[in-house]
Every structure is written in structure tokens, then in C-alpha cells.
Amino acid sequence: MSERRPIASRHTKLAVRVAWALAERGVAPNLISQCSMVFAALAGLAFWFSGMTEGFLSVICLLGAALGCQLRLLCNLFDGMVAVEGKRGAADGPFWNEAPDRVADTFIMVGLGLGAGHLSLGWAAAALAIATAYVRELGSAQGQSADFRGPMAKPQRMAVTTASAVLSTVIPAIFGWSLLYLALWIIVLGSSITVLRRSYGLVGFLRAASKGTE
């Protein structure tokens, strides 16, 4: 199994109890990973619908989107815990550990773009989110320790996305820009920096490894 992202909540008593409960009931970690895509799709749809509704319905959609993002993260937490601590990992686990994340990021970022009325910006955010993971996995394939550095890794992307959804229920806009639109720009710029940082680190690793074999 690939290296795991350091997450403080993984060591809380509640998280451990939930993970053990899932493992004891025979819930497969791959199924939990697959559920993350479902929650992400619901979040994306909720963001989209928030841009087509007003008032109370828009608030419900935004809060539903925030909830979907957080449920996606909980799936990301518990699939690994059930697989490792619960010893229920499968041979194809590495695939289901990574692939659903890329789908989930796309659902959420594109939905956020639709909700903000800037679909192209949503696609840009999705592409950059995938790029951050691509550089990390490329490095791992070359023997580099998994690079989870930000400033806009998955936890930070979901934090910005969730916060923009919740705050949008009480703050419609800032200087004429919706919070969803501002969140997209924060994610795009932050993810771009993240890709550059990880790429720079990978290039440095490869050069150092090459010198070590001369």
C-alpha cells in the first residue's frame, strides 16, 4: 500500500471506534472508497443547483454541498483505517485508494464551477487537483517519499470548498464576487503553487539520486 497522508484525526478515539466497527461488520475498504465518489457527486450536484436556485433552496443546496465534501473526506479517512488497522486490505486496494479521489475532485470542482457560474474555472481547478496527485504519485514511482505538501493539497482544497459553501449562506458576495468564485481562484492559485513545489522537489530528488549512482 502507498504511503498514507498524515492525518491527526486518524488517531482520535472516535475515528478508531468507527473504523473498527466498520471492519467488524465486514465493510470493505474498497466500498468505502467508492462511496466517496457518490458523496462527491452529490456535493457537485448541490453546488450546481445552488447556482440555479435562490433563498432557502439555495441555502439548503450549499449546506448539502458542504456536507457532501465532508462525507467524502470521512470516506477517505476510514477506507485506509479499515484496510490497515482493520486488516481488510485487498489486492486491488491501491487502485481504489487513488482513483476515486481523482473522480471525486472532478465532481466537486466542476460542480463548484457551475454553482459559481464559471465552468471553465471549475475545470481548471479539477485539472490542477489531479495534477497535484499526479506529481506525488510520479515521485513515489521513482522512489521518492510521498510528497503531501501544500499549500493546496486535498485537505486544504476541501476546507476552502466547504468554508465557501457555508459562508455563502450568510455572505452572498464580497466586492461583487461570490464566495464560490473566490474559492475557485484560491484553489486554482494554491494548487498551481502546490504542483510547482512538488515538481521542484521531485526534480531535486531525481538529480540527487542520479549523482548518487555516478
Q: Tally the domains of the chain.
A: 1
Q: Which residue shows C-alpha cell 530528488? A: 205
Which pLDDT score is estimated for 213? 64
Which pLDDT score is estimated for 1? 47
- What is the pTM for the complete model shown? 0.93
Which pLDDT score is estimated for 101? 96
Range of the domain at 183: 8-212
Position 1 in a domain: no
Query: pLDDT per residue over 87-96, tens digit each?
Result: 888 899 889 9
Position 3 in a domain: no
Position 2 in a domain: no
Position 26 in a domain: yes
Which pLDDT score is estimated for 125? 98
Instruction: Give the CATH number of the domain where residue 165 resides.
Output: 1.20.120.1760
Residue ranges of the chain whose pLDDT lies below 70: 1-2, 212-214
Cell of 39: 458523496
